[in-house]
Structure 1
Amino acid sequence: MKVVHLSNTPVAGSPGNIVSALNRLTDIRARHVVFNAAAYRTRTFAIDLDWRTQQQEALDAIAEADVIHIHQYFSFDETFGANFAQRFGDKRLIRQYHSAPDLWANGDAGLIERIVREGVPQLVIAQGPERFYPYARVVPNVVPIDDPRYLPHPEADGTPIVTFSPSGRASAWKARWETKGVPQTLALLRKLEREGLCRLQLIVDTPHDQCLLLKRHAAVAIDECVTGNYHLSGLEALAQGKPTLGYLDQRVQSQLRRLTGATDLPWVDVRLEEAEAPLRALLADRTLREEIGAASRRWMETHYAERAMIEHYRRAYLDLFEAPQQFGVSRFTGEADEWRARVCPDYNWTARRHLHAGWRDRLRMWMKG
């Protein structure tokens, strides 16, 4: 079977990891066509087929494919050109989501409904966005944990390094999902740095290969402690054997356990509001860091091995032909199930946002005297 992945952007390297694993570990031959390889400017990822420079090779791969695997939501005609979708013929299509639908809908309820109920089989990563796509099959973000770039290395001598690699600058309390709470997280990390407890390694707008190399000798990694989600960067840090701080809400935890079969999860699971004390403890105790980091790596080897994770995709492709009826069936059993999955966690986040807003107001009043 041949599969071509299509994406507007590199999608933080996720499709590339899937394609690489398919080609190395399965009987499926895969290619990845990226329309805008430079979408993130200097934050670059390895690219298979760049549409702007390898268009004919990309078209040939599409013509030969049995399955077209689309990543995220975008218009084919506006991106790849008029009548592009006509090239698919009777090939099987499947679309994978890596973000909540409001990233594209901007509050347009009608567009959200069209995205969620699209009549194409869907996949969604087993992270925060999963709860928004009830008709999608849940799949992992694949990580090549045995690639040399992802192997553990001893932390650097001297003051411990805390590494943090946000992809944007959004505040924790202005965006629900498309944020890693950068201003608030940096305020905490810079406070600890001023006290001489750590060195902050802030990685932004950096090629992915270089990012992985920079993180190798860090003592502690920050995934994200705001939304309840985890990220590909967090999985990478766990693979590299780092104590990794992140906040995973109950829905994310349940999906991750279901996907991997694991009971315990390796993140140092704290919200940003409670992260200072665990960080101080880790920075003060190298043995503790080493033990937690080694456990992180063991968890990835046991529960997140690349060969096991890529099988979720291979099975999905086979089901497109052998059991297409398995797609398009809601995973929610009713309104209460959906409420617990999607609505209730938003109440928690909103309460936290109001608490922080109240604290800022009281601080302003105090400063005015």
Structure 2
Amino acid sequence: MLKVVHLSTTPLVGAPGNLCRALNDHGQVQARWVCLRSDVGLYQQMPFATDLCWQRQREEALHAIEQADVLHLHNFIDLDSADFQPVDFRRRWQQGQPMVRQFHSQPALVAQGTGRTVAQVHACPIPKLVIPQYPERHFATARLVPNMVYVPPRPPAAAPAGAPRALACIGYAPSRFNSAHSSRWDTKGYPETVTVLRRLARAARARGLHVEIDLIEQVGHAECLRRKAGCDLFIDDLVTGSYHLNTLEALAQGVPCATYLDARTAEVVRQVTGGHDLPVVNVGLEHAATVLLELCARPERLQALGVAGRAWMDRHWTGVHAAQTLGDIYRSVAAHPGRPFAQRFDEDDTGERWHVREQHDALWQARRAGWPRPVPPWLLGAKTAAGRVARALHLR
């Protein structure tokens, strides 16, 4: 049985660990995950479980790397990465060590995080993998690998006690807090989405509906999952045209999820699932208040959507499928180290580039006119701080 070691510089919201679990549970390979730092950046406030932490378990991690048949490098790790010294990735590559490199971000962000140029990111010779979300449209030769999620069962609804339960609880758990106007991809549209959700709550009250908004901010992954399971509707990314792990986690817990999928993202999901559409409430930020208000007025509809979403995940987005996909890739790479994967689209073809990427960028630009205006940074900071204080004092 092949031994595979995943390496990442950050927890990547637990994605490498979920892939390792799928591989180990379904007998494809023996998989371990070495994470350089588990508490860097946003992960200080939002911790995720990891396997081997390089800073604390270096000797065990080095032993696993030495025993590996295939190295699975994630996002910011390339042949010249020095974070895991004395591991020399370029020397191992030249000696024929089978490797793959998986991208979770668009090339400009990877270049920024590694000190490379975008051209150097694309020129990396390691066979490429990519998640079937927004990054895939930037990596023409990368194989699609589904992101996996593992969530606890949704607890049964508690019997009403004290104050009446909200007719609908809408959850939102962004991992970024910058404006939707600040970036094409590296945003979740936090201030604009919060503005729209508050408008929705006011409109619901005007119709005699009680809608509660749960802003799940800077908490550990386990706590985020617990609160997500208590929602009747969840919000992922209403701005970019892609879904994220939040969508998959919500659906897996039987919670309907609203996110905006552009035509390219929807097509790639169908490629991964054999023609099955991701069952989200597909709505952009500019129309979200109207659409979601109609959903909140029909709680039985929300419940039906949640049941259907969980059933879809059980049928079409499973650990077995992910393990089989990766197992086939590892066996191919082990037999032919360094051989690139087949090209999925022609980056040099003007028409194909328009269909894959440019038309969706143009639509995104046009959609921005219907979004709330950007909030000045000083005002956003003051509002965020006030909101946290209010929630701590149970005033909100």
On whether the aligned pair clears a TM of 0.5, the verdict is yes
- Whether 2:85 is the aligned partner of 1:81: answer yes
- Whether 2:136 is the aligned partner of 1:130: answer yes
1:99-178 alignment, distance < 5 Å: 99-105=105-111, 111-144=117-150, 147=151, 149-151=152-154, 153-154=156-157, 158-159=165-166, 160-178=168-186
1:328-368 CA-to-partner distances (Å, cap 9, x unmatched) read 432114332122111111111112235658999xxxxxxxx
Match of 2:69 among 66, 69, 74: 66
Whole-angstrom CA distance in 1 between matches of 2:309 and 2:18: 20
Shift of 1:109: 12
Distance 1:132 1:343, change over 3 A: same
1:19-78 CA-to-partner distances (Å, cap 9, x unmatched) read 111111123101100001102212111110000100000000000000000000246544
Q: Is the 8 A contact 2:256 2:305 kept in 1?
A: yes
Distance 1:129 1:278, change over 3 A: same
SS of equivalent to 2:278: coil
Q: Is the 8 A contact 2:76 2:114 kept in 1?
A: no
Distance 1:108 1:217, change over 3 A: closer
Q: Please, which moves more after superposition, 120-129 or 299-308?
A: 299-308
CA-atom RMSD in angstroms = 2.5
1:197-233 CA-to-partner distances (Å, cap 9, x unmatched) read 3111111211111111111111100011110000011
- Whether 2:295 is the aligned partner of 1:292: answer no
Q: Please, which moves more after superposition, 71-80 or 277-286?
A: 71-80
Whole-angstrom CA distance in 1 between matches of 2:23 and 2:105: 22
Q: Is the 8 A contact 1:162 1:221 kept in 2?
A: yes
1:257-272 alignment, distance < 5 Å: 257-272=270-285
The corresponding residue for 2:228 is 215
Whole-angstrom CA distance in 1 between matches of 2:323 and 2:149: 9
The corresponding residue for 1:49 is 52
Paired AA for residue 126 in structure 2: V
Q: Name the % identity.
A: 37
Whole-angstrom CA distance in 2 between matches of 1:119 and 1:138: 17
Paired AA for residue 39 in structure 2: A
Distance 1:335 1:117, change over 3 A: farther
Q: Please, which moves more after superposition, 312-321 or 51-60?
A: 312-321
Distance 1:178 1:358, change over 3 A: closer
Whole-angstrom CA distance in 2 between matches of 1:28 and 1:50: 21
1:138-184 CA-to-partner distances (Å, cap 9, x unmatched) read 1100123xx5x154744885112111110011111111111111111
Whole-angstrom CA distance in 2 between matches of 1:155 and 1:257: 36
Q: Please, which moves more after superposition, 173-182 or 79-88?
A: 79-88
Paired AA for residue 200 in structure 2: L
Paired AA for residue 102 in structure 1: A
SS of equivalent to 1:199: strand
Whole-angstrom CA distance in 1 between matches of 2:113 and 2:314: 40
1:211-290 alignment, distance < 5 Å: 211-290=224-303
Q: Please, which moves more after superposition, 190-199 or 312-321?
A: 190-199
The corresponding residue for 1:366 is none
Whole-angstrom CA distance in 1 between matches of 2:187 and 2:250: 18
Where does the alignment leave 5 or more consecutive residues of structure 1 unmatched? 361-369
The corresponding residue for 1:367 is none
- Whether 2:332 is the aligned partner of 1:319: answer yes
Whole-angstrom CA distance in 2 between matches of 1:37 and 1:218: 28
Distance 1:109 1:14, change over 3 A: closer
Paired AA for residue 72 in structure 1: N
Q: Please, which moves more after superposition, 40-49 or 149-158?
A: 149-158
Whole-angstrom CA distance in 1 between matches of 2:174 and 2:158: 21
Distance 1:200 1:359, change over 3 A: closer
The corresponding residue for 2:101 is 95
Distance 1:134 1:19, change over 3 A: same
Paired AA for residue 133 in structure 2: Q
Whole-angstrom CA distance in 2 between matches of 1:214 and 1:322: 45
Length-normalised TM-score, structure 1 = 0.90
SS of equivalent to 1:142: coil
State the aligned residue count. 357
The corresponding residue for 2:366 is 351
Whole-angstrom CA distance in 1 between matches of 2:338 and 2:54: 33
The corresponding residue for 1:185 is 193
Paired AA for residue 295 in structure 1: A
Length-normalised TM-score, structure 2 = 0.84
Paired AA for residue 90 in structure 1: G
Distance 1:225 1:153, change over 3 A: farther
Whole-angstrom CA distance in 1 between matches of 2:258 and 2:105: 21
